[in-house]
Amino acid sequence: MEDFRHYPITRRSMLQFAAGGLTGAVLLDRLEGAAEPQQPRQTEFQIACMTLPYSQFPLKRALSGIKSAGYEFVAWGTSHREVAGGERIPVMPIDAPPSKAKELAMQCRGLGLEPLMMFSTIYPEAKNGLEVLTNRLKQAGAAGVPQVLTFGHTQGGNRKLWIERFKKLGPIARDNGVLLVVKQHGGSTGTGEACAEIVREVDDPGVRVNYDAGNVMDYLNVDPIPDINKCADVVHSFCMKDHRNWPKDQDCGPGFGEIDHYQLLAPVAFTGRKMPLCCENIFAPVVPRPTKPEGVDDLARRVREYLETVIAGVTTPV
């Protein structure tokens, strides 16, 4: 008779002992070195503030304000007024060489801010969309920015063209160590479910979904909680904003609206991945927005603290 003492005793084998002895399947498991199922690992949520809420102020002031509000991560917005009353200057021009993006990333890191995401500032179906998105991926790769964000027109996108272009862009993204993420923006791509269907058809690990619950609720008046459960497997980041339908139909900062962020983040709380939460809107609803950057700093800090509380809640076993 074989000496079973040489085999490790697990909870599973103990139960089978109690049921009448080790079965052949258990012996095969032991001989093949089968391991017990691994417990899911917590998601590493990374709370970033976009420079977008500071768009009325210089980029340098945005970065220093975000750092003073207690953030370790930043996402690049679209443009800033470098001079009061002046024209908006792009954070990163679409045709800028990758070296320029690398310089901005170094500037952020010098302040203690790790950049996580940049806007593509172009629709995927635009005439020059493939060219611009390709350069954006190269910019992000040079800068060490892990994600480039794109989205469609509010009336929807050309699904067939999106898939065709994303299949070309996926390998480029991977070659540069970047993810191209697509979020909801109304119309036929206004839900996470719709974006996920496109991503699944593209079937390239370089293209994934960014979830924007505020947009889902705003443009289509769809409850984002059931929606995210239909796409959570391909969600790799969030554009954080909230929304209220009362007393005014208006986007706002997380914690100021009607969206339950505990239920929003719970489906992705144990992916084992890094998950950027990029705060796109941090403003309070109804009341006027701050006219001084210090007021934006205060709102940025409040949103960060709220999200830290939510993350602690959804990653704590109950």
Residue 318 banded pLDDT, cuts 50, 70, 90:
confident
Domain range list for the chain = 1-34, 44-312
Closest CA to 206 of 295, 140, 300, 263: 140
Pick the CATH number of 44-312 from 3.20.20.150, 3.40.50.10440, 1.20.1560.10, 1.10.3720.10: 3.20.20.150
Among the residue ranges 6-15, 95-104, 110-119, 302-311, the one predicted with the least confidence is: 6-15
State pLDDT tens for residues 139-148. Answer: 999 999 999 9
Which pair of tokens denotes residue 287? 């009341």
237-294 pLDDT, tens per residue? 999 999 999 999 999 999 999 999 999 999 999 999 999 999 999 999 999 999 999 9
- Please, what's the b/e burial string for 261-271 (b: 16 or more CB within 10 A of its CB; e: otherwise)? bebbbbbbbeb
pLDDT digit string (tens) for 187-199?
999 999 999 999 9
pLDDT value of residue 36? 59
| DSSP secondary structure letter of residue 54 | G
What's the pLDDT score for residue 85? 86
Is residue 141 within 8 A of residue 171, CB to CB? The reply is no
Q: Which residue has the higher pLDDT, 79 or 9?
A: 79
- Say whether pLDDT at 32 is over 80: no
| pLDDT level of residue 40 (50, 70, 90 thresholds) | confident
H-assigned helices in the chain: 11-18, 24-31, 59-68, 98-110, 129-143, 159-175, 192-202, 213-220, 224-228, 261-265, 293-314
